Amino acid sequence: MVRVIAVQLDDVRKRLGTVEAVRGVDLTIEAGQVVAMLGPNGAGKTTCISLMLGLRKPTSGQVSLFGMPPSDRRARSRCGVMLQESGVIPSLKVKELVDLFRSYYPHPMKAARAIDLAGLAEQAEVQSSKLSGGQRQRLYFALAVCGDPEIIFLDEPTVGMDVEARRAFLSGIHEFAAAGRTIMLTTHYLAEADELAERIVVMNRGLVIADASPREIKSRVAGKKVRFASPRPLSEVDLDGLDVKSFEHDGRYYSFLSNAPEPVLQRIFQLGLEMTDLEVAGADLEEAFVSLTSQHEESVA
């Protein structure tokens, strides 16, 4: 099977004033992949997306979109984009806006299909100025997919959405991905990345510090997360000599990571600590993300 490369970055660097926001990134995204790019604020995620879209030019290195410069109209016509900062004509209705944006593409999808994917069928005749914040975000998704693009870029797409709106929105993304389209996602909601992406790219300080499946990323941290409530004090010193990482106490709940939680819990029982709401679960993507970025910060300190 021939590999189709949707996005290629080769030793890409981007300087913004005195800051090198992207520092020698190599990245290949194949057609059909769902990729989440994660990183703390200032990691270089949004700058990378801007380079992929041709909104910025690299200081050095090469960026290609379907084998062409990102600024090439032929490449852009194959993309859909939902950026953090978007704006539309407030007096136009949802369907009117979708029809307008469809006209920019050579082979758009039907307007009703794009509106359904965004979960806005009931708001099709509503002016955009009268939409709620979450509905407006879903409108931007409809505008991103209405051209029936081969790749869609989603930069923090669910910001401002309530739980119900987010669930409906993610369902639309799942449906779009199921059709074999490429998705490039940035988000601070790590549970979303875990649910949607088959591949996680972690950035920090302008560098890619991890690139693997969610399962592989999570396997890089201690195997179990333990959490419980207790009215009595417990310190990390009480667990000295045991496998305990990321020990925290928020005033009510204690939590830590461990590859061997059984001996740790045994020690806690021996100390006579009262426990309620005990949870023992596999480490999630958030713990893995924090661990990876913390380790990288320590290595460059």
Average pLDDT, the chain: 90
Region of poorest pLDDT, from 37-41, 178-182, 218-222, 291-295: 218-222
Residues 189, 55 share a domain = yes
Residue pointed to by tokens 């870029």: 153
Judged against a pLDDT cut of 90, whether residue 253 lies above it is answered with yes
Note down the domain range covering 77: 5-218
Beta strands in 111-237 (DSSP E): 151-155, 182-186, 199-204, 207-212, 224-229
Judged against a pLDDT cut of 70, whether residue 287 lies above it is answered with yes
Residues 137, 26 share a domain = yes
The CATH number for 273's domain is: 3.30.70.980
Residues 154, 64 share a domain = yes
Q: Flag whether 77 is in a domain.
A: yes
Residues 232, 201 share a domain = no
Q: Which among 166, 195, 218 is the end of a domain?
A: 218
Q: Which among 184, 218, 252 is the end of a domain?
A: 218
Q: Flag whether 300 is in a domain.
A: no
Judged against a pLDDT cut of 90, whether residue 289 lies above it is answered with no
Say how far apart CA 30 and CA 130 lie, in whole Å.
39
**CA-CA-CA-CA torsion sign (187, 193, 198, 204):** positive
Residues 86, 26 share a domain = yes
Residues 91, 145 share a domain = yes
| 74 touches 91 (CB < 8 A) | no
Q: Flag whether 148 is in a domain.
A: yes
Q: Which among 196, 218, 240 is the end of a domain?
A: 218
Residues 185, 76 share a domain = yes
Q: Flag whether 193 is in a domain.
A: yes
Q: Flag whether 289 is in a domain.
A: no
Judged against a pLDDT cut of 90, whether residue 174 lies above it is answered with no
If you average pLDDT over residues 14-20, what whole number do you get? Answer: 94
The predicted-structure confidence for 27-85, as pLDDT tens digits, reads as follows 999 999 999 999 998 899 989 999 999 999 999 999 999 999 999 999 999 999 987 66
Q: Flag whether 162 is in a domain.
A: yes
Residues 118, 264 share a domain = no
Judged against a pLDDT cut of 80, whether residue 86 lies above it is answered with no
| 182 touches 152 (CB < 8 A) | yes
- Number of domains comprising the chain: 2
The CATH number for 209's domain is: 3.40.50.300
Residues 269, 138 share a domain = no
Residues 200, 117 share a domain = yes
Residues 178, 140 share a domain = yes
| 80 touches 65 (CB < 8 A) | no
Residues 6+ apart with CB under 8 A from 65: 6, 7, 52, 53, 54, 72, 75, 76, 78, 79, 151
Q: Flag whether 292 is in a domain.
A: no
pLDDT at 294: 81
The predicted-structure confidence for 127-152, as pLDDT tens digits, reads as follows 999 998 888 888 999 999 999 999 99
Q: Flag whether 287 is in a domain.
A: no
Residues 53, 174 share a domain = yes
